[in-house]
Every structure is written in structure tokens, then in C-alpha cells.
Structure 1
């Protein structure tokens, strides 16, 4: 039987989690944090901007008996789309045909999204449910991405119950290869310009 939830954070902080927090000495701190800054269950403008910038997402699902699975999905910025104040969608592309995520969602809609920006050292956790939409051309058109690769087979829509932002501690700093290449090209161009200027002054 599902336990009653009085605040959005109860989605993550179950009775068992709170019991462990109490035993380990952190429950009082988190209770104060939840009172000062309640967890949200709607997509804010800041979160929408963060979602729209992502090129990678991890989707967690579980079978009816609780066996968990994490699936990675990626694409150009904008492949993960905010549909309204509580729903996020993306096109599910053709893959290895294992269909573990689809099988899990067919019997257990509970799902989890994990977004991480290695460059800005920011990560966002979203709890909710997910639904698979087959043969939904209008929805697929909304989720279509310009210059996207792969063949879209269906849509997956994630409905948010609550979300939270993790602290940046221990996030390794990594940069997108295209951004690094652009920065190196810009540096090389400036070096060439300075070398040319030195040569003109020398002669």
C-alpha cells in the first residue's frame, strides 16, 4: 500500500528514508530545508531552460517486482522537450531492440530522470511517472528535433511528481567536444594574428 504524502519531497523521502535520516542524524536538517524551500512539482522557467540545454539524460525505470534499469538517451540540445508545466517528452529512437524500458513501463509507470551538466557542475533529479505513446503523429511532431540523428519510433512522456537540485560536490568538470574544438580554433586564430603582428613590427 502506498504511503500518504504530505509534501512533494515525500516522494523521495519515504518513511524508511526518514527513519535512516533520523538514525544517521540528518533528518532535522532536511526537515528545516523542506520547510524553508519546499520541493517543487512544477517546471520553473529556470528548470525549463536547463532541460532545453541538455544533450544527455538518464531514465530510470523498474519492473513490477522492483528490478531497476537505467537507460541513457542523448541528442542535440532541445531533444528533451518541455510539453507543459509538469510534463517532459522525448522521441524514443530505434536501438538494440531489448525493450527493457518499454517492458518496465508496461507494468510499472514509476520513473526517474537524472540530468547532469558536467560543464556547469549542476545536476537535477526528477521523480514521476512515464508513459509510452505509440502511433502518436502529432506528439511526435512536437518532439521532432532539427538535425537529430536516428529513427524515432515512439514518444515517451514523463510526468513530474517532484524534483530537486543536487549540490555540485564531486561532479567532474567535462566539456563538450565541439565547444573545446571551437575554443581551440579561436585560440589558434588569435595566436596567428599576434604572430602576424609581431612579424610586421619586426620587419
Structure 2
């Protein structure tokens, strides 16, 4: 008799759990920590976050990891089973959004580096909307996330599972003011990894920009 699959986790992770003898420990984690929707505590946590890491893959399974940031609440919780965040004009590549048009599965990782040092995984199915289109469905979407800029797209995520990323090894980071401009020793973004401008040697101090 073929048993039904467990409610959470991939077939690959369950096979590896059996191989390494962690099936019971993993089952406790699924039972105690993984939820099919956002709890009130998860919703409040997302509303406090100013950054999120994204994981997408195209139809061939080739992966891409990315990062989004904005003022707290830029990832807007619509209800306990859905959230949305804006996509603004960038380099025009649209790697993450492009992957979603082929493979709508999206993984999001929120990490609090400054206060409680804990993370939250949110996985689900994404759909792209235009700004006007999604606001017609959800008038409470935030405005003014990037002053003077309108979103090109919104990513809407239907939540399938959400669970904790434990605090072990999450570093403590101190918020710092953003500098007014780049240090002269720092190449501009477009040249940073292309070799057209050489970065300062590893460990070399940046020249002071103070008078």
C-alpha cells in the first residue's frame, strides 16, 4: 500500500531524513513549527521587516536568489494566506519575476538581524499584477514606498507554508546611516564586479569622507 505524502516538505527531504535517521525529529518540527498560513505573530513580524531574501527557479529548475528592501511594511500582509510586495524599475533583467512566469513557486526568507535575531520562511505560489490591477482588488496596499516612483509590478504570494528560521548563527547587525556618497576607493555598482574599476585591496581601509 502506498502511503499518502506528509503534509509538509518535499519527497527529497523525506528520503534524506530516512537515510540520515532524522525522520522523527523532522516530524516534530513539521508538527510544532510549520503552518499552512500566517499566524498573527508571523503577520506582525513581516510588518516590522525592512528586507527579504527571495528564492525562485525557472521551468528547468535553474535557481536564482535575490534581495528586496524597503521601509517596514513594504511587504504587505493581505490576510493570513496572502501577502504582496512591489517591484520597481531596476536593471531591466527581471530575473526573479521572469522565473515566476515560468515557475510560480516562490520562497521568501525574512531575517531580523537587529532585535530578536530570528527568521521566518514563507513559501507559496506567486502571481504578478500591475499596480492598478492589484489595488483594485486590495485598496489597502501601501503607497509611497519609494517616493516619486510607482511599482512596475506587484508580486502576490498565496501562502502554502510558513515556519521559523532559528536564531542560531544569525549575526547581530547594528543599523547605521547610509553614507551620502560612495567612497572614492569603492567602484560604482555597475563596475564593481566587472573589473573596469579596481576595488581597494581586501582589508584596505576606505579613505575618510569626513572633512
**TM-score, with length taken from structure 1:** 0.76
In structure 1, the residue corresponding to 2:43 is in which secondary structure? helix
Q: Does 1:50 align with 2:45?
A: yes
SS state of the match for residue 157, structure 2? strand
| Count of residue correspondences | 171
SS of 1:177's equivalent?
Answer: coil
Choose which of 22, 26, 30 in structure 1 pairs with 2:18.
22
Q: Residue 164 of structure 2 corresponds to which residue in structure 1? A: 165
**1:34 maps to what in 2?**
30
Mapped to 2, the partners of 1:158 and 1:58 lie a distance apart of 14
State the Cα deviation string for residues 76-127 of structure 1 (Å, max 9, x = none).
0111110111001011111110011222111111110110000121011111
| Bigger helix share | 1
Uncovered stretches (5+) of structure 2, i.e. residues with no partner: 178-211
Q: Give the whole-Å Cα distance in 1 for the aligned partners of 2:112 and 2:13.
A: 27
Q: Which of 141, 144, 154 lines up with 1:143 in the alignment?
A: 141
Alignment CA distance shift 1:71-1:110 (3 Å): same
Q: Give the alignment's Cα RMSD to 1 decimal.
A: 2.1
Shift of 1:145: 3.5
Q: Is the Cα–Cα contact under 8 Å of residues 75 and 83 in structure 2 kept in the other structure?
A: yes
The structure-2 alpha-carbon separation of the partners of 1:93 and 1:18, relative to structure 1 and needing over 3 Å to count, comes to same
Match of residue 89 from structure 1: 84
1:77 maps to which of 69, 72, 77: 72
Residue 5 (structure 1) shift: 4.3
TM-score by length of 2: 0.74
* 1:4-19 correspondence runs (5 A): 5-7=5-7, 10=8, 13-19=9-15
Give the 3 Å change call, closer, same or farther, for CA 38–51 of structure 1 in structure 2: closer
